[in-house]
Structure 1
Amino acid sequence: MTRRVGIVGAGAAGVGAAYALATADADAEVTILEKSGGVGGRAATRRRRGCRYDHGANYVKNADGRTGALIPELGAEGLVDIEDPVWTFDADGEVSEGDEAENAPEKWTWTEGITQLGKRLLDRTDAEVRTRTRVETVAREGEGWTFSCVEGGEFGPFDAILLTPPAPQTAALLDMTHWDDDRLDDVRRAVDSVPYRTIETVVLHYPFREEFPWYGLVNADKDHEIGWLSREECKAGHVPEGESLFVAQMSPEWSAERYAEPVEEVAPAAAGLVAELLGDDRYRAPDWTDDQGWRLALPDEGVDEDAVRSTEDAGLYFAGDWVAGEGRVHRALWNGYDAGERIADGV
């Protein structure tokens, strides 16, 4: 019998679950509904003026054996290991060498960008992906689950569903879930309690290139207006020779304060801070800029896992970095993968 599985969200967790189902259960029929126009979530890439840049998650870290085995298996063509290290800086802008152990694992992306992670995983599945499809309500009817979408139309019934959007968006979806079960209120409260950080990404391009001994700088004491600064030219195929492109991810406080401002106002302020950090006034004047506000960028802590696992016997599953408790691509990926395996075992 074909088992129907519905997944909300085509980020790392949703894609990881689809990959697990394809690996573990050849009879699963998987439908992924994604509100944006692409897959990968924050593992996203843009193209502009001959450049590619990863403006959310910057790379996939080889932080465990599963990730280390999976990424090369997805294909060596276009795979990029960022060899330059990550250094640190403090509130005063003092830059220091990073920890050698922290910089030991590979930092992976692709010449075509980190969005390749989601695309390559989905290529190994038969999942149907519906982009620009926003789920509005969820309902349990008889033994099956259904989704109704903002754009109209209904999907289902599904034997099991997996919700992977950021916790506040998942909590809002649970508010619009029709299921006569006391567990629904408990799980919604647990999901709604997960705190999130807002991050404003500012992209700064320059028609010149300087050499630095680092790929990225991370604010170690979390008391600077810049949280992260990295150089996309360290990634093969991303930036033409003689040019440089910086990805500045601003602090949560700075980001929340300026979240609604247009790039014409945000970029000069960020460029000034980058110039101060690097001690070079040329960086105050990028020749073009871009930005992306991630209102729900990273969870500050994880959800009560017992609460979100309590509904799995009814076919309602949850996954994401907020379930794993750490805002890392590989943590979201494997959290989704593990959920997919449980779905395959339990449907």
Structure 2
Amino acid sequence: MERAVLLRSLSSSSSTSTLASSTRLFSRSVHRLARLPRRHRLVPNVHQRSLLRRHLGFISSVSRPSLQLSRHFCSLSVRAVATSSVQSSPEVLGADDDVAEKLGFEKVSDEFIEECKSRAVLYKHKKTGAEVMSVSNEDENKVFGIVFRTPPKDSTGIPHILEHSVLCGSRKYPLKEPFVELLKGSLHTFLNAFTYPDRTCYPVASTNTKDFYNLVDVYLDAVFFPKCVEDIKTFQQEGWHYELNDPSEDITYKGVVFNEMKGVYSQPDSILGRASQQALCPDNTYGVDSGGDPQVIPKLTFEEFKEFHQYLDMFEANSAAEESRVGSQKLFSEPVRIVEKYPAAEGDDLKKKHMVCLNWLLSETPLDLETELALGFLDH
């Protein structure tokens, strides 16, 4: 069945200890490296939110060249790939399995991925179902990432606000902004956090082993034991709060995420992409904005914010994976036309400020890799 959406805008704008030296562990969110069925692949990351953008001013000019790696690692952040510069011997690999067994994990698969010359081992925690993958190859970077399914039910931006907030101090590292301290003082080659429409990723990387494990320790303590769930001030700072600078002025909304999304919602391309995605999938998580709609963000309460953090307790609740599963969107019986507006710059000729986007379903079955790659080229 054909699925189509026409968007026409009517106006426009002026947006742990190591298991072995040769392997690293990371949490798998939605799919496995290099063997992902199409039915599990996600909507393109049109609305990926990056924590690093906010803190670029804290990075010295000497450190900034390392950020050139971000484009490379961003594509891998969904899987949070971890690597090692030393190939594992059979004896070491066997030791990995013994340690995993003692920690309550069972090996699910063990294979060599020719495309990236890597050995990938997938483990699953027997009690909770949490999945961990170790990837080893010749890359000098040691990379770790923990990924959570965080599909929102509305556009209050809870995943985005939580992503910012958990890195504002934790039980073991009660600093105001540990993330900033890591940016300034660690040997990281990559350090960031991302909010997608259906998941949140926390990846780190370093070529220095000691520094790498320090980064991992800070991030794990942040996501599982953040201060923000006990301190409403962090929620107000990162999310939203009322602000009044002059009694003669109107009360306004302020907040890191709120201000960021106001900028995003003023960008025509962003509005077009978001409206297109939400029109195609109105009945599931892709029909709302995980980054947050400035008109809706102020509706989020601190209690709702704290409750949402419970998704991090997925390691203690077998039902978490099922509860966070994204349902399929039913096919439309006929083409759907959507008309949206976007703000125009003063003095613009509105008759020349229109945007059109046409979308349709290419296949009801998974696409093979070649076809998907070819379509990607055509898209550009």
The TM tier, using the shorter chain, reads under 0.3
As a proportion of its length, which structure holds more helix? 2
As a proportion of its length, which structure holds more strand? 1
Q: Structure 2 length as normaliser, TM-score?
A: 0.24
Q: Structure 1 length as normaliser, TM-score?
A: 0.26
Could you say which structure has the greater relative contact order, defined with CA pairs below 8 angstroms and 6 or more residues apart? Answer: 2
Larger Cα Rg: Structure 1 or Structure 2?
2
